[in-house]
Amino acid sequence: MKPTLVIMAAGMGSRYGGLKQMDPLGPNGEILLEYSIFDAIKAGFGKAVFVIRRDFESDFKEQIGKKFEGKIDVQYAFQSLDNLPEGFSVPEGRTKPWGTGQAVLACKDLVAEPFCVQNADDFYGAEAYREISAGFKQLSAGESCMVGYVLKNTLSAFGSVSRGVCETDGVFLTGIKERTEIITNEVGTVQYIENGKATDMTGNEVVSMNFWGFAPGLFDSLEEKFIELKFIEFLKAKGGELKSEWYIPDIVTRMMENGETRIKVLNSNSKWFGVTYPEDRPAVVEALNAMHVSGVYPIQLWN
């Protein structure tokens, strides 16, 4: 059974401005999603499910979905602001979806095979897709997996980033510590800022970049957490905020605590990159062009 790639594309890219998912960055106008799909096909994936919003459905299908016709089975799931448990409503002025946890739940009726979840506006590298595709075949019952990246390979030179710093026992994830403001200071030291205090990091920490591998049975647990527990708890605490989000690590942490899953950490030494800030764009364009010239990717991605 070929795995499915679930691509979370409903975010608005608030720091970058506009829909990053549609920004042409490759030498022939490729968007980052094209590299994701190209690498996933090479790694044996058979289907791509895009999680999007209804308000840009037409543009997304026309500008992105059509690129993959005849290359991989493409389906769409929709993340909606008003898909809320009884008794809750969307606060006035909120426009962002409720986060990556809700995004994964949105595709539950479309996935009946092992599936990988990723962001739409990140470049993960071919190694990640090979690792997770092979990882699916080695998972025992009740296990999931993720690809972890070396922190220093995921930073921006133009501002702070948010990363989930992973704690492991050498094989399995034991916890994730969310660091919402990680910087490289003026002397090149990686630090996280919390309550106004800077704490040094090594830069070699393993971090989650939202590249998760799950068995389809996850949806039973995920739906339970969504409706009866975690999402309701989140909404009670932060549902009135305009930008609060419910994240996949919140779900994973609760499932690990309940003994419902173990997360095997698959490490990647590849350079992750994305356009977190507008100033990141030239370096991404240069890096992609270099990979085409060096033969990592063909001159024309879709020959």
Note the pLDDT tens digit of each residue in 75-127. 999 998 888 878 888 888 887 778 888 898 889 899 999 999 999 889 999 99
**Cβ pair 255, 113 in contact under 8 A:** no
Provide the residue type at 31 as one letter. Answer: I
- Is residue 30 classed as helix, strand or coil in its secondary structure? coil
Dist CA 114 CA 44 (whole Å): 12
pLDDT band at 167 (very low <50, low <70, confident <90, very high): very high
Position 20 scores a pLDDT of 56
Per DSSP, helices labelled H in 119-247 are 126-136, 218-228, 230-238
Nearest residue to 105 (alpha-carbon basis) of 212, 217, 219, 216: 219
Structure token pair of residue 60 = 């997304």
Note the pLDDT tens digit of each residue in 227-267. 456 677 778 888 788 878 878 888 888 888 888 889 999 98
Nearest residue to 148 (alpha-carbon basis) of 229, 262, 20, 265: 265
Position 229 scores a pLDDT of 64
Structure token pair of residue 43 = 């790694």
pTM of the model as a whole: 0.89
Q: Which helix (H) or strand (E) holds 51?
A: strand 47-52
Note the pLDDT tens digit of each residue in 177-198. 989 999 999 999 999 999 999 9
Position 12 scores a pLDDT of 46
Fold held by 4-151+208-260+278-294: Spore Coat Polysaccharide Biosynthesis Protein SpsA; Chain A (3.90.550)
pLDDT at 16 > cutoff 50: no
